[in-house]
Amino acid sequence: MEALNWYNSSQGSNIKSPAKNSLSFKTNPKTDIWRTPREHRKNAHFFYQDVNGDFLVSVKFKGDYKSQYDQAGIMLRVGDDKWLKSGIEMINGVPHVSAVVTNPYSDWSIVPVQNFTKDSYLYLRVERKGPKIMIDYFIPPSDFKEPEDINKLDWVFLRKITSFSDANLTQVGISAATPQGDDGFDVSFEGYKLD
């Protein structure tokens, strides 16, 4: 993760173990990325690197999600009006796997997750092939043993975007935000991998 840069850093960021591609931090309150014709919020924490062409990015993460819309996951950014974020988002006290695509305005897809706690990990991968994006996730069962190659997991399809961007350069990384909470929340990312 040493190759990544902050876009809106967290005051409490702490790279725990660069050798394991891990990052833990506490989100700042009133942070978000969201775009509609009437509002444009873009102060979410985003730890990224520039990537040319196609890629596959994956990470596992957990968070102590508390407030409405607390969120963490993977983010891709081409510009202020073209980006996507996907991960876990707290909605009415229930964690949801979510995906937001902005081009130029934000849409939102969500799937509720049962029996998900602050100690639960979400595995997430996002693949780009040309203008197409595929998003998959995996929630491990209690007796789960992680394989050496996480691409061998039983991934669940979340979303396909067929015309994300024709631009070659994409900012790719991890993101978290606390849109409505006053305290932020602790989040930990592990095993970040970009191919």
- Rounded to an integer, what is the distance from CA 132 to the centroid of its chain? 18
Assign 140 a pLDDT band (cuts: 50, 70, 90). very high
Tokens 């409405």 sit on residue: 68
Q: Which of 12-16, 31-35, 138-142, 186-190 has the lowest mean pLDDT?
A: 12-16
* Predicted pLDDT at 177: 98
Assign 18 a pLDDT band (cuts: 50, 70, 90). low
* Predicted pLDDT at 11: 73
Structure tokens at 51: 């990537």
**Is pTM beyond 0.85 here?**
yes
Q: Is residue 140 situated within a structural domain?
A: yes
125 φ/ψ angles, rounded to the nearest 5 degrees = -140, 145
Q: For the chain, what is the domain count?
A: 1
Mean pLDDT of the chain: 93
Q: Is residue 7 situated within a structural domain?
A: no
Domain carrying residue 116: 27-33+46-194
Helices within the chain (DSSP H only): none
Mean pLDDT over residues 121-149, rounded?
95
Span 49-76, pLDDT tens digits: 999 999 999 999 999 999 999 999 999 9
CATH at residue 78: 2.60.120.200
Distance CA 84, CA 69 (A): 16
